[in-house]
Structure 1
Amino acid sequence: MPNANNDSHTQQTPQRAQPASELNQVQRRAVSELLRVSPVADDLARRFRDAGHTLALVGGSVRDALLGRLGNDLDFTTDARPEDVLTIVKPWADTVWDVGIAFGTVGCLKRSRTGSEDVRSYQIEVTTYRSEAYDRTSRKPEVAYGDSIEDDLVRRDFTVNAMAVALPEKQFIDPHGGLEDLAARVLRTPGAPEDSFSDDPLRMMRAARFAAQLDFDVAPDVIRAMTAMADRIEIVSAERVRDELNKLVLSSNPRKGLKLLVETGLADRVLPEISALRLERDEHHRHKDVYEHSLTVLEQAIDLEEGEPDLVLRLSALLHDIGKPKTRRFESDGRVSFHHHEVVGAKMTKARMSKLKYPNDLVKDVSRLVELHLRFHGYGTGEWTDSAVRRYVRDAGPLLDRLHKLTRSDCTTRNKRKANALSAAYDGLEERIARLQEQEELDSIRPDLDGNQIMAILGLGPGPVVGQAYKHLLELRLEHGPMGQDGAAAALKEWWASQASSDD
């Protein structure tokens, strides 16, 4: 792979020259990654060449190859128009979709056999050279096709995403110094950041997301432009903002990206509840830094994840204390209280997530966890009755495992004795839950009699009274545990008799 050509690097902020050894190491990683995907990429490139067109691996795929982390999602750019791309890929790919064709993108799935039994699936997007810009009053970009790869690369968001590899020749194209920026782990824009963010304001959030995903620093001139232009994010649709926020929250280092959103003022527009956590403090009224606490809880929740990143858990951890600013009270003894902040926070969570167009089930789950995150603190050192434990499990429902993780993550005290006591108490609660689950099948708590049995015993047809009876038996089940059908029937008749006497 030829060395990068940095002659047209246009950044305003000086760049740190990278030692040749660092750049060579980056390029060696890229060669190794590209050789792995060559059978598919080169085959596709030859088909484009035979049709009189060019094809290049581009953007995030080149960046990830240079970082040694190229996956099976491959992005290409071409001079072919979308209709021509369809003609080329349809006979070659296993599946083709054109939902993005209005923006110049054709997607396809290609399966490739790399061994006697090893079959890899590649998800591929081919985009026509293009430039796009936002009208200052519109949420939709206007797409115009370009005629050269240089025109295409200059419109991309950051220099580390503005590199390409022409195929099948493997010619490295880097007109904006992306290779050096990648080696320096810094995010810059190919041209002036103000122009880039004016074209697509969502790029400001992408800067925070890439900082979190890649652990890169953001160039000072880019940060200045983000701060000056933060209000431009308001023309971007809620769905695009939400999707970018999700990628940030699900990254390996969300604290870095979230702090950048707050410090530039972008969070004030897209997630103002997080900025509001930076409560003023004074020498007379002491309380923990709620903003830093929330970021730490998020990190501790991530440490407790098992398997894939959990968006519900992470959003719950980030938002669990957003009700505190509205409920803060200064007490006469110098303490600060936040009574019922979990209830207020749950309502605020629902409102914000709904505004960002999150799916209803996700809004419901995150809001519920925010509402329940303080419940454990009434447990003390084990004073809860079995009834209280059953209600804890019933109220958490399928979110119980996440509630365990959120509650444990919410302990950020530096007092080791207090932290150990809280951990031991929660260990005890989990052990009691496990014991009761084994004895009583807590995961599916229900009365010992169903609706049909209630109607048969009381001689009733369907109606609201049956629901009242069912609810009464459920309360008895939670309070006393399993009663058996005979015991439940006796309790039901007793309740029915009391209802009749009260009517008299």
Structure 2
Amino acid sequence: MTSALGAAGEVAIASLIKRAPLASSLAQSFAAQGFRLALVGGPVRDALLGRLGNDLDFTTDARPEVTKKILQGWAENVWDTGIEFGTVAGKRGDTTVEVTTYRTESYDPDSRKPEVEYGDSIEGDLSRRDFTVNSMALELTTKTPEFIDPFNGLEDLAKRVLRTPAKAENSFSDDPLRMMRAARFASQLDFEIAPDVLQAIKDMAGRISIISAERVRDEFTKMLMSKNPRTGITILVETGLAEIVLPEIPKLRLEIDEHHHHKDVYEHSITVLEQAISHEDRLGGPNLIIRLAALLHDIGKPKTRNLIPGGGVSFHHHEIVGARLTKSRLKALRFDGDTIEQVETLVALHLRFHGYGDGEWTDSAVRRYVRDAGDLLVHLHVLTRADCTTRNAKKAERLAKTYDGLEARIAKLMEEEELSRIRPDLDGAQVMKLLNIKPSAAVGKALDYLLELRLEHGPLGEDRATEELLNWWSKENPTTK
């Protein structure tokens, strides 16, 4: 079950020493108390792939209460929020560690939480893990470090394949979230899923429904933020998992016939996601908001699809329907309010650019575009550009040039008018003084009127704004003198 430190272990040790030198001192702290400690799971896999980070997972034969005491003598900060599952965490310098007692765990068929029992061997602990490439360990408290690989994870790592240590059906029955994790690892690591594992996911997809929305959300987010989310999304759709956790995506696979042609909306949405990712440098790097918006921007199309007599298809107001569906789905997945609001806004606005034709934008239209996008203006730029997936090179070039022109117009007006801070030329106090009214709905209505003038005509100045306000007020209240 265990092997002497071979070439693989030497690679992992070298990576560990280079990237996480504190691991050896932690091992010494456990050994001094007579306990074993091993680097385990993803960090071993990543060490072998040369991509080890500063978040390290360990397993030990020490019970959680003992682990906590040892960590308190080693780490700068310790927290035990996972102690009921045998896990204690700590941080020292830039290194964060999680130490978990050897355990076996199983799920009640109708329960979302595992029943944890502590084990007495590292091999037993490894047998309960999700995939063989995560079932390797590096024992650090023996005289000579040992590379432990009871399920041939190293071979699977070399083949870039995901298999389960135990029978896939048993593994997914114990923790159904592992099915989504397979899609996530396929995206993150560019691995294939073994045929029997893939079949088990298809057969057991319905079991994902017992997993909490928060855990599903976190796994989906990790997959979406990977370097190749197309792979994971495809797996979710083809296995039936998406039908349960994100049903709006498989619904994009609209039927197409010879008389009513339209783009493959599902393929288009994945392409838009990929093109948005290629523009993420404008947003400072990988960005969850733009990725969600790109993936979901057309989910209103199935509900608004209308066959046009004589051929063709329309999707009138799909952006409005899509924004509503986006809000509902993200709420169901327990995303935070800010994320939901931002993605909903982008979905609602994603067609705005195309509503203004081939570049005949008035200053008023530009101001409203900027006002409605608000802090999401650059996100909207990225989404709109990514949404051009036409294979017609001339059309693509024309759309790009048109949007270049819009961005130039925005930059010019930004400089001239401070578009990012569009507000009425008069404030509430001035309105109340000029109209001789108290705080009321009328003040808000007057400010809305002034804002519309500002958007339509640009900065008016205080004198003209006053004149316009008084004229408007006299029309609104003809008996007032």
TM-score (norm 2): 0.97
Could you tell me whether the CA contact under 8 Å between 1:278 and 1:290 is conserved in 2? yes
- Does 1:335 pair with 2:312? yes
Query: Aligned runs of 1:263-342 on 2, under 5 Å?
Result: 263-306=238-281, 307-342=284-319
TM-superposed CA distance for 1:46, in Å, is 1.1
TM-superposed CA distance for 1:379, in Å, is 2.2
Equivalent residue letter for 2:206: D
Three-state SS of the structure 2 residue aligned to 1:281 is: coil
- Does 1:247 pair with 2:222? yes
String of CA shifts for 1:151-203, please: whole Å, max 9, x gaps: 10000000000000000432100000000100110000001000100010000
RMSD in angstroms over aligned alpha carbons?
1.5
String of CA shifts for 1:63-114, please: whole Å, max 9, x gaps: 0000000011111000111000011110211000111111111010012xxx
Identify which of 131, 135, 138 aligns with 1:165: 138
Could you tell me whether the CA contact under 8 Å between 2:19 and 2:52 is conserved in 1? no
Could you tell me whether the CA contact under 8 Å between 1:59 and 1:160 is conserved in 2? yes
Equivalent residue letter for 1:59: G
Q: Which moved more, 1:93-102 or 1:304-313?
A: 304-313
Change (3 A) 1:393 1:332: same
Q: Which residue is 2:165 aligned to?
A: 190
Query: Aligned runs of 1:372-387 on 2, under 5 Å?
Result: 372-387=349-364
Q: How far apart in 2 are the matches of 1:94 and 1:106? A: 13
Query: Aligned runs of 1:73-152 on 2, under 5 Å?
Result: 73-111=55-93, 121-152=94-125
Three-state SS of the structure 2 residue aligned to 1:30 is: helix
Q: Which residue is 2:189 aligned to?
A: 214
Change (3 A) 1:54 1:199: same
Identify which of 462, 468, 481 aligns with 1:485: 462
- Does 1:445 pair with 2:427? no
TM-superposed CA distance for 1:459, in Å, is 1.5
Equivalent residue letter for 2:271: T
Q: Which residue is 1:260 aligned to?
A: 235
String of CA shifts for 1:26-83, please: whole Å, max 9, x gaps: 6564233122146311111111111111000000000000000001111100011100
Q: How far apart in 1 are the matches of 2:272 and 2:248? A: 16
Equivalent residue letter for 2:275: Q
Q: How far apart in 1 are the matches of 2:65 and 2:387? A: 53
Identify which of 11, 16, 41 aligns with 1:59: 41
Equivalent residue letter for 2:163: R
TM-superposed CA distance for 1:308, in Å, is 3.0
Q: How far apart in 2 are the matches of 1:257 and 1:281? A: 25
Q: How far apart in 2 are the matches of 1:87 and 1:27? A: 29
Change (3 A) 1:31 1:502: farther
Three-state SS of the structure 2 residue aligned to 1:126 is: strand
Three-state SS of the structure 2 residue aligned to 1:272 is: coil
Q: Which residue is 2:475 aligned to?
A: 498
Three-state SS of the structure 2 residue aligned to 1:102 is: helix
Three-state SS of the structure 1 residue aligned to 2:293 is: helix
Identify which of 393, 397, 419 aligns with 2:374: 397
Could you tell me whether the CA contact under 8 Å between 2:9 and 2:146 is conserved in 1? no
Q: How far apart in 2 are the matches of 1:415 and 1:382? A: 19
Change (3 A) 1:194 1:345: same
Change (3 A) 1:255 1:463: same
* Residue segments in structure 1 that go unaligned for 5+ positions in a row: 6-22, 112-120
Q: How far apart in 2 are the matches of 1:278 and 1:382? A: 32
Q: Which residue is 1:234 aligned to?
A: 209
Equivalent residue letter for 1:109: K
Three-state SS of the structure 2 residue aligned to 1:467 is: helix
Q: How far apart in 2 are the matches of 1:401 and 1:435? A: 16
Equivalent residue letter for 1:363: I
Equivalent residue letter for 1:373: H
Three-state SS of the structure 2 residue aligned to 1:419 is: helix
TM-superposed CA distance for 1:3, in Å, is 6.0
Could you tell me whether the CA contact under 8 Å between 2:9 and 2:138 is conserved in 1? no
Could you tell me whether the CA contact under 8 Å between 1:319 and 1:349 is conserved in 2? yes
Identify which of 343, 348, 361 aligns with 2:325: 348
Q: How far apart in 2 are the matches of 1:29 and 1:408? A: 44
Equivalent residue letter for 1:227: K
* Residue segments in structure 2 that go unaligned for 5+ positions in a row: none
Q: Which residue is 1:19 aligned to?
A: none
Q: Which residue is 1:436 aligned to?
A: 413
Three-state SS of the structure 2 residue aligned to 1:384 is: coil
Three-state SS of the structure 2 residue aligned to 1:229 is: helix
Three-state SS of the structure 1 residue aligned to 2:280 is: coil
Could you tell me whether the CA contact under 8 Å between 1:4 and 1:177 is conserved in 2? no
Q: How far apart in 1 are the matches of 2:14 and 2:412? A: 53
String of CA shifts for 1:250-295, please: whole Å, max 9, x gaps: 0000000000000000000000000101111111111111001100
Q: Which residue is 1:9 aligned to?
A: none
Could you tell me whether the CA contact under 8 Å between 2:19 and 2:53 is conserved in 1? no
Q: Which residue is 1:18 aligned to?
A: none
Three-state SS of the structure 2 residue aligned to 1:124 is: strand
Q: Which residue is 1:10 aligned to?
A: none
Three-state SS of the structure 1 residue aligned to 2:73 is: coil
Could you tell me whether the CA contact under 8 Å between 1:4 and 1:179 is conserved in 2? no
Q: How far apart in 2 are the matches of 1:451 and 1:402? A: 32
